[in-house]
């Protein structure tokens, strides 16, 4: 997915999972635990063990790109 950030004028190519996270967070603010519960059904079982760490990394990447802000 291509994401345009109107505040900065930057365009970013996001993975499907990152785009899914942006979509979830655009609906409402969510804690790491809430995100984990929300995305768990969409993740393959073999990836479920490191899900919290994976979500944290995606959030950090999105924050670095100035797409999301942690509150």
pLDDT in tens, 47-66: 656 888 999 999 999 999 88
Contact indicator for 48, 54 with CB cutoff of 8 Å: no
Sign, Cα dihedral of 45, 50, 52, 56: negative
Q: What's the confidence (pLDDT) of residue 44?
A: 72
pTM: 0.82
> Tell me: the pLDDT tens digits for 7-48?
888 899 999 999 999 999 999 999 999 999 999 888 776 565
């Amino acid at each position: 997915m291509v994401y345009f950030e109107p505040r900065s004028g930057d365009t970013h190519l996001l993975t499907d999972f990152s785009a899914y996270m942006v979509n979830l967070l655009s609906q409402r603010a969510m804690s790491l635990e809430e995100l984990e519960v929300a995305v768990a059904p969409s993740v393959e079982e073999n990836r479920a063990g490191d899900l919290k760490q994976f979500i944290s990394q995606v959030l950090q990447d999105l924050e670095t790109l100035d797409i999301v802000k942690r509150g």
